Homo-oligomer: A and B are copies of this chain.
Amino acid sequence: VRTPTDETHDSERRSFVSTANDPQGDFPIQNLPFGIFSRGKDTRKSAGVAIGDQIFDLRAAFGLGLLSVDIPDVFAEPTLNTLFALGRERLRELRKRIGDALDVGTSGEKTRRSAADLLVPMAQCVMHRPTSVPNYTDFYAGIHHAKAAGALLTPENPLPANYKWVPIAYHGRASSVQVGGGMVRRPIGQRPPSVEGGPPGFGPCERLDFELEMGFYVAGGNRLGDPITVSQAQEQIIGYSLLNDWSARDVQRWEMYPLGPFLSKSFATSVSPWVVTADALAPFRVPAMKRPEGILGH
């Protein structure tokens, strides 16, 4: 399975925003991730796209008629939820128009003339959490991680019996997802008793940890009870970002039996301000690891 690529993925393409053409940069014209920003002391939030060391203001661009695409004006909303709910096909169309608007060639001329209104230096902006989070689920998805973690606890049998069959996951505290770069307060909590059967310890977490993970953003979603088939799943994932799963390991070891992690994870989860679209990553798609034991017939 390869997703088709188009002119937005052309590795020869250059932007008139010169910092976007730095081969070491995170934000070339082929990337174009979405985020929510505000300018300096102005607290008004807008949707924007990262390009080099600048942010391309989607609200302003839409207002100037630069994005001739059949979508409603959702760029003044304080989150990307409505934009993402439009679905991958319309976001793909928008991505094409943004690529054209930032192109070094003639297609970018109109933007270049209004650059002062449309481009804001990242250094002058405050970034916000890109979406509101109606639910957040943490999957135990990487087998290498699962084996390494399991080997510490039960070396003779590092993977639980269910691991290869069913997605092992828990819901994190949706309301504690925040944009990365802010302060995270070290939580206070209970630690395992030092004597078996004795009282637990209490105090600031002594084993604060984080796991660098990958966040998946779902477009819109389904009605409760309506299943999404495996073949539909690809169109439901709109983008990805880095995610830090902060963990109070001492608290976790004490509290998690039998209902799983709770307060040890609830104090913070941080996400990147930029959501890289699934479409931007199309050229990098590779086949999944082969499953040695096959898949359960569904």
Contact = CB atoms under 8 A, between A and B. Distances in A.
Interface string A153-173: 000000011100111111111
A297 interface: yes
A169 B200 contact: no
A139 to B, nearest CB: 9
Interface in A157-204: 160-162, 165-176, 178, 183-185, 188-190, 193, 197, 199-200, 202
A189 to B, nearest CB: 8
A170 B259 contact: yes
Contacts of A254: 162, 166
Contact of A260 (B161, B185, B258): B258
**Interface class of chain A by DSSP:** loop
Interface stretch (A93-101, A230-238, A261-269): A261-269
A102 B153 CA distance: 62
B255 A197 contact: no
A171 B170 contact: yes
Complex A-B, nearest 10 residue pairs according to Cβ-Cβ distance, in ascending order: A260-B260, A185-B225, A135-B175, A171-B171, A170-B259, A259-B260, A134-B175, A166-B190, A170-B260, A135-B174
